[in-house]
Chains A and B, each alone.
Chain A
Amino acid sequence: MDHIVVVGASAAGLTAAETLRRQGFAGTVTVLGDELHLPYDRPPLSKQILAGAWEPERATLREDAHLQRLRLNLELGCRVAHVSSAARTVTLADGEQLRYDGLIIATGLRPRRLPFGHDLAGVHVLRTLDDALTLRAQLLAGPRVVVVGAGFLGSEIAATARGLGLDVSLVDVESAPLARQVGTWAGGLVADMHRDQGVRLHMGRSVVGFLGDNRVAAVVLDDETRLPADVVVVAIGSVPAVDWLANSGIPAGDGVLCDSTCRAAPGVYAAGDVANWPHLVTGGRGRLEQRANATEQAMAAAKNLLVGPAGAVDYTPIPFGWTDQYDTKIQTYGWCPDGAEVKVVDGDPRDRKFVALHYTDGRVVGALGWNSPRALRQHRGRIAE
């Protein structure tokens, strides 16, 4: 193997490249990224960067000297136009063609958009550093913010905007913020937290339209409520960035469709938000939109690429996710699905400090920690025992 191409230069892509070097791969490593910034980390975008607590450079994943030592062909501002898994080639938008022996796909996600309204000024999504800086400038100019979507990203943006002293409304079709991520029981506590901080919650509601000519003036909900808005942030989830894989011979749908070792085609592996693979311990197939998974799966995919299919190891992580909102840290191991039986095993929800195990069919499938990082870790081993 002489040339490995990594498509995607964010956490998963860079970790894959780093792992190749740490595993002793001495050939050429090309990393292609479609943004112009040096590889940076995304979790701070909705928190420290949006709040203005960090300069943008602080989100950079690895300093320049470290990148130099990795001896990468790091091509930024570069889009892939086509891939052929049969010919093992990647064709860039400018026509340049690269032959690869190994390909690691780590192109992540694109924000899902509403079918209307994104042409209005003041309506934003947040995925990139540029998005975050643009949104920050808008937040500083307008006091009334409506966040559409109360998943991790939307609820963090709401918390950051409140921290900036803005008037914030949070809308979601679910009955509570983070209901899909941590279930309705913990979601109810998240709702209380946002209410205590002065966020107006509109749960169980969907957005049917915007008012305003060139610039958004209000958000209209399905019960005809009108929420006056200077800035709207749409955070209704993401879609895997796989459109560029059309006619490549690499199976794609809800992400890059991999086997249990993260392999999608001969010499082709995927990692991070974009990778869809069967988890052999839980039996489920899917993707994991979690920062820790970007790193862990990139390490696994890079190692499996180098060792080849015969020696490849199944990727069976215990997922880890977290969110920081106001002064609260919520962390999860495993899965906390809605409808799971919840048992508090440490601390007390009334003290806003506890660990809760989540059970499905009598088995521990997830552990949620609320301001309890160290205690939570002690329960990690209970998952998928």
Chain B
Amino acid sequence: MKIVIDEDKCVGAGQCVLAAPEVFDQRDDDGIAVLLDESPGDGQLPQVQDAIGRCPALAITMGK
């Protein structure tokens, strides 16, 4: 899977990091989400889906 973060929508809540800490982190200065792994393995799918669901800004999308 391929993950994309819309930085303009991201509000820096960090909910994605709580849901999938191996895939997401936050920038130090403004908290905007960054990808530790742009194409994580399928083993991360439940956590990534959780992160997408929890994001309060709907800033994360996933493609094939």
Contact = CB atoms under 8 A, between A and B. Distances in A.
Contact of B30 (A22, A41, A296, A373): A373
Interface in B20-40: 25-28, 30-31
Interface string A299-330: 10000000000000000000010101000010
Contacts of A58: 9
Nearest to B25: A374
B45 to A, nearest CB: 11
Nearest to A323: B11
B26 A15 contact: no
A22 B52 CA distance: 12
A22 B48 CA distance: 13
Contacts of A377: 14, 17-18, 26
Interface string B47-64: 001000110111000000
A374 B28 contact: yes
A88 interface: no
Tell me whether chain A's interface is mostly helix, strand or loop, or mixed: helix
A15 B53 contact: yes
B38 to A, nearest CB: 20
Given A373-B31, A374-B27, A329 B12 contact: yes
A120 interface: no
Interface in A1-41: 11, 15, 18-19, 22, 41
Given A43-B11, A322-B13, A374-B26, A291 B31 contact: no
B56 to A, nearest CB: 5
Contacts of A331: 12-13, 31
B6 to A, nearest CB: 10
A299 B50 CA distance: 10
Contact of B49 (A22, A294, A320, A380): A22
A295 interface: yes
B12 A295 contact: no
A62 interface: yes
A320 B57 CA distance: 13
A329 B28 CA distance: 13
Contact of A62 (B31, B49, B54, B58): B58
A296 B18 CA distance: 13
A18 B27 CA distance: 29
Closest 10 CB pairs of A and B: A373-B31, A373-B12, A374-B26, A377-B14, A291-B56, A292-B56, A374-B28, A374-B31, A373-B26, A295-B54
11 contacts: A15-B53, A22-B49, A43-B11, A58-B9, A320-B13, A329-B30, A373-B13, A373-B14, A373-B30, A374-B14, A374-B26
